[in-house]
């Protein structure tokens, strides 16, 4: 009887539901990715026909001192961002992982910067960080009697400052991920540890951190990928300056592709970025076996 | 039978109407002006019954990418707006209709500032006219009248030279509360094109040697770069660019952080918005250098161009001429932009406004001069424009002014990095 009810079913039927998504994926994601690969071997100003130039774009990239600086900036930004969001994301998650009255307010408050427009965040932080007219330096000078630096003008520190603003903006997102991980840890472990006389710090070190490693691994991977994709905050705050100090790979791809119309060169850069992200993610997956502990 | 005849005659009338109707596609980049541009089109269609114009408007950020793709796929609109930064590239690659025969035979040359047509030839690096200018922007010296009055200084004028400027800048740089920090700067500049080239051309110099299309500033150009960077590093009458980080560059003057500033005339609008009537300010010509020329200025027009693939060149010319001149109204111009159509530029509406500055007529004097600019192909890359402001020549000049690089090292870097970019374009 049951068989009769599903007699209309054919194995190809799921494809009917998959096709709309697959078409979108192929046309808007995989198609441009493949096209971009071929474009990276051309010189193309999107005004005249592309000209095949082989590996010239890739050779030019690695011979360009500015590109090497941009590559360095990208890694520096990534390092500050990944360490920052993991530390502050976990810290916030631990703080809001309690059953205190009104804790939902704090969870929401910490998440607000995530959903705030990068343009607004960039503008407000620009005002706050302005060396002579910003609130932060005014407070530092009045209270601590120090001469603070030009946070956004000093090329030795500006990249760290912009990365920290992005950490401030995104920490709430990672907080949510860590919070979900924390709530997955059964309470019985903490109860057992308490009976055995473990301090809160010992419980955190011996129970929370090890059992949180699957989430930590996920957060780590996502944070690395996101760090390489950070664009809006640089566009809004520094536009790659001063003196190229905040110009990162993804920002440079935008400039070359959509301002200078060096589409082939920009595509080559995009593929260098793809390879870097792929290698780091691959290493991350290999190392996972050594430090990630699954409960189940 | 009667019905058949009626249908046939209706069909024939429709066909003949369709055959007689010329349809033009027109693209422009300013959505704020969409309604007013539609009015221009309506007026044009009323005066030219056989021609219909379809308007496409998009944000400037999308405009260039889309119109380039249209050009590549041979679907360019018949008429479109074009900026000075792209005219050489578009003309040299054959996308623009040469307009010589139209300009010479069917343009009332007394009704336009013809020097802007000549500027267009120089911008296009060509012997032909390729577009009709509709709005000129130039650069001026903005000055705070209240600060000048407080210091007992006379206002800048067209005879001002570098020495006059420097003397005033020194007197206007003040540490009002004696805490060792400057509260009022005499001047504000950084590596931006309008901040730099304005002075270069007013010293009869150049940055680009157009005979070889390379970055090779002449003696006057070099003197100007040195004078400008010295304003920050030696005379200390202007802040290091990094000291103004976080403040929008165009807000430094209207927020009264500096007494003088050289930038584009379009900033009149921002000054009115930010400063309002909180202080008195004016505009003057950019001070002249030791080798200065009285009859030239830094400025560049925006254009209406015609596609080389248009099937209706006569109609397109008619419309381009109309949409760059007599069809426009003053409320389509941002304050500080100068119409190329004399009747508009010289109308009461242009300069008799209640709003500051009082010296709006000065813009017309400048508009009549020979216009110079530093545009080349790949200009935005080597100059550091828009989203690339942190790169290119901007970045090197800022490094010098921030004390991160000596002037000599900066010059070497300019030579290698800029000429590398230009060398790829002009082989």
Q: What is the pTM of this model?
A: 0.90
Task: Give yes or no for a contact between A172 and A113, defined as CB atoms under 8 angstroms apart.
Answer: yes
**Model pLDDT for residues A39-70, shown as the tens digit of each residue:** 999 999 999 999 999 999 999 999 998 899 99
From CA B157, how far away is CA A214, in angstroms rounded? 71
User: What confidence score (pLDDT) does residue A37 get?
Assistant: 97
Q: What is the pLDDT of residues A235-288, one digit of tens each?
A: 999 999 888 899 999 999 999 999 999 999 999 999 999 999 999 999 999 998
d(CA A182, CA A159): 32
Q: Complex ipTM, two decimals?
A: 0.89
The domain locations on chain A are 44-291
Q: How far is A283 from chain B (nearest CA, A)?
A: 34
**CB atoms B388 and A259 under 8 Å:** yes
- B17 pLDDT higher than 70: no
pLDDT in tens, B1-14: 566 666 666 665 55
Is the Cβ–Cβ distance between A174 and A223 less than 8 Å? Answer: yes
| Residue A101, pLDDT score | 84
pLDDT of B232 higher than 90: yes
Strand partners, A42: A52
DSSP for B26-72 reads EEES-GGGHHHHHHHHHHHHHH-TTEEEEEEE--HHHHHHHHHHHHH
Q: What is the pLDDT of residue B14?
A: 57
- Please tell me if residue B413 touches chain A, with a CB cutoff of 8 Å: no
For A82-135, write each residue's pLDDT tens digit. Answer: 999 999 999 999 999 988 888 889 889 999 999 999 999 999 999 999 988 899
> Do the beta carbons of residue A114 and residue A172 sit within 8 Å?
yes
CA distance A224 to chain B (A): 25
- CATH code linked to domain A44-291: 1.10.3720.10
**Terminal CA-CA length for chain B:** 73
pLDDT, residue B13, reads 54
pLDDT classification of B16: cutoffs 50, 70, 90: low
B424 φ, ψ to 5°? Answer: -75, -30
In A, minimum Cα distance to B387 occurs at: A239
Q: Which band of pLDDT confidence, cut at 50, 70 and 90, is reported for residue A3?
A: low
Contacts of B390 in chain A (CB under 8 A): 238-247
Query: What pLDDT score was predicted for residue A25?
Result: 94
Q: In this complex, is the C-beta atom of B227 within 8 Å of any C-beta atom belonging to chain A? A: no
A257, closest residue in chain B (CA to CA): B65
For the stretch B59-91, pLDDT in tens is 988 999 999 999 999 999 999 999 999 999 999
Note the pLDDT of residue A100. Answer: 82
Could you tell me if B188 lies within 8 Å of chain A, comparing CB atoms?
no
State the number of CA atoms in the 13 A half-sphere of A105 facing the CB. 3
Of all residues in chain A, the one with the smallest CA distance to B190 is A242
User: Which of B354, B367, B311 lies closest to B134 in space, CA to CA?
Assistant: B367
Q: What is the pLDDT of residues A135-171, one digit of tens each?
A: 999 999 989 988 899 999 999 999 999 999 999 999 9
Tokens of B8: 């046939």
B147/B280 Cα distance (integer angstroms): 9
Whether A243 sits inside 8 A of B395 (CB atoms) is yes
Residue-wise pLDDT tens digits, A281-296: 999 999 988 888 886 6
**If you measure CA to CA, which chain B residue comes closest to A255?**
B388
Mean pLDDT of B269-285: 95
Give residue B205's pLDDT: 95
Which of B69, B247, B394 lies nearest to residue A46, judging by beta carbons?
A: B69
Reading the block at residue B215, the tokens are 């970055």
What is the sign of the dihedral through the CA atoms of B152, B155, B161 and B162? Answer: positive
Within 8 A by CB and 6+ apart from B335, the residues are: B266, B268, B269, B272, B353, B355
pLDDT above 90: percentage of residues in chain B: 84
At residue B354 the predicted structure's pLDDT band, cuts being 50, 70 and 90, is: confident
């Amino acid at each position: 009887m049951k068989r009769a009810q599903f007699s209309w079913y054919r194995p190809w039927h799921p494809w009917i539901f998959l096709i709309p998504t697959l078409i979108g994926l192929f046309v808007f994601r995989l198609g441009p990715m493949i096209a971009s690969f071929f474009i990276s071997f051309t010189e193309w100003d999107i005004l005249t026909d592309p000209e095949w130039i082989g590996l010239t774009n890739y050779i030019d990239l690695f011979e360009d001192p500015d590109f090497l600086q941009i590559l360095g900036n990208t890694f520096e930004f990534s390092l500050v961002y990944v360490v920052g969001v993991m530390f502050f994301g976990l810290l916030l998650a631990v703080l809001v992982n309690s059953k205190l009255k009104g804790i939902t307010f704090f969870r929401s408050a910490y998440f607000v910067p995530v959903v705030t427009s990068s343009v607004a965040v960039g503008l407000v932080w620009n005002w706050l960080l302005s060396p002579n007219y910003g609130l932060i330096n005014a407070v530092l000078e009045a209270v601590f009697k120090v001469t603070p630096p030009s946070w956004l003008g000093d090329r030795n520190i500006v990249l760290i400052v912009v990365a920290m603003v992005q950490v401030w903006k995104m920490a709430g997102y990672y907080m949510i991920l860590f919070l979900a991980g924390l709530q997955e840890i059964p309470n019985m472990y903490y109860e057992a540890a308490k009976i055995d006389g473990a301090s809160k710090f010992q419980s955190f070190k011996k129970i929370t951190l090890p059992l949180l490693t699957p989430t930590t691994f996920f957060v780590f991977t996502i944070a690395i990928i996101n760090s390489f994709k950070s664009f809006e905050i640089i566009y809004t705050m520094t536009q790659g300056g001063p003196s190229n100090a905040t110009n990162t790979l993804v920002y440079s791809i935008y400039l070359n592709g959509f301002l200078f119309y060096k589409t082939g060169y920009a595509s080559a850069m995009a593929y260098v970025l793809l390879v870097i992200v792929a290698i780091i993610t691959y290493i991350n997956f290999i190392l996972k076996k050594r430090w990630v502990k699954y409960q189940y | 039978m009667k019905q058949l005849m009626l249908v046939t005659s209706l069909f024939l009338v429709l066909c003949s109407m369709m055959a007689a109707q010329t349809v033009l596609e027109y693209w422009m980049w300013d959505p704020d002006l969409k309604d007013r541009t539609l009015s221009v089109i309506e007026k044009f269609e009323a005066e030219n019954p056989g021609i219909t114009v379809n308007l496409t408007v998009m944000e400037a950020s999308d405009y260039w990418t889309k119109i380039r793709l249209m050009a590549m796929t041979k679907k360019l609109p018949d008429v479109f707006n074009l900026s000075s930064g792209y005219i050489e590239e578009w003309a040299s690659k054959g996308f623009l209709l040469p307009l010589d025969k139209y300009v010479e035979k069917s343009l009332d040359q007394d009704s336009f500032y013809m020097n802007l047509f000549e500027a267009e030839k120089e911008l296009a690096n060509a012997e032909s006219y390729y577009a009709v200018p509709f709005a000129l922007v130039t650069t001026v010296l903005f000055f705070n009248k209240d600060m000048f009055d407080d210091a007992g200084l006379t206002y800048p004028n067209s005879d001002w030279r570098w020495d006059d400027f420097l003397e005033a800048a020194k007197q206007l740089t003040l540490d009002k509360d004696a805490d060792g920090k400057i509260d009022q700067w005499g001047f504000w500049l950084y590596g931006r094109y309008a901040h730099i080239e304005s002075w270069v051309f007013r010293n009869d110099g150049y940055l680009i040697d157009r005979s070889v299309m390379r970055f090779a500033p002449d003696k006057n150009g070099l003197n100007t770069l040195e004078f400008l960077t010295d304003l920050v590093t030696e005379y200390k009458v202007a802040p290091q660019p990094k000291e103004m980080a976080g403040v929008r560059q165009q807000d430094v003057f209207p927020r009264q952080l500096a007494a003088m500033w050289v930038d584009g005339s379009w900033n009149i609008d921002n000054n009115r918005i930010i400063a309002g009537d909180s202080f008195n300010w004016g505009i003057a010509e950019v001070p002249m250098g030791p080798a200065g020329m009285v009859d030239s200025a830094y400025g560049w027009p925006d254009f209406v161009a015609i596609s080389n693939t248009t099937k209706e060149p006569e109609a397109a010319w008619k419309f381009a001429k109309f949409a760059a001149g007599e069809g426009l109204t003053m409320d389509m111009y941002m304050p500080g932009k100068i119409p190329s159509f004399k009747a508009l530029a010289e109308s009461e509406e242009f300069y008799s406004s209640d709003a500051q500055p009082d010296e709006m007529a000065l813009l017309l004097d400048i508009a009549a001069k020979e216009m110079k600019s530093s545009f080349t192909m790949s200009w935005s890359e080597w100059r550091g424009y828009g989203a690339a402001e942190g790169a290119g020549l901007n970045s090197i000049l800022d490094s010098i002014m921030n004390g991160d690089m000596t002037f000599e090292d900066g010059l070497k870097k300019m030579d290698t990095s800029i000429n590398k970019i230009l060398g790829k374009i002009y082989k």
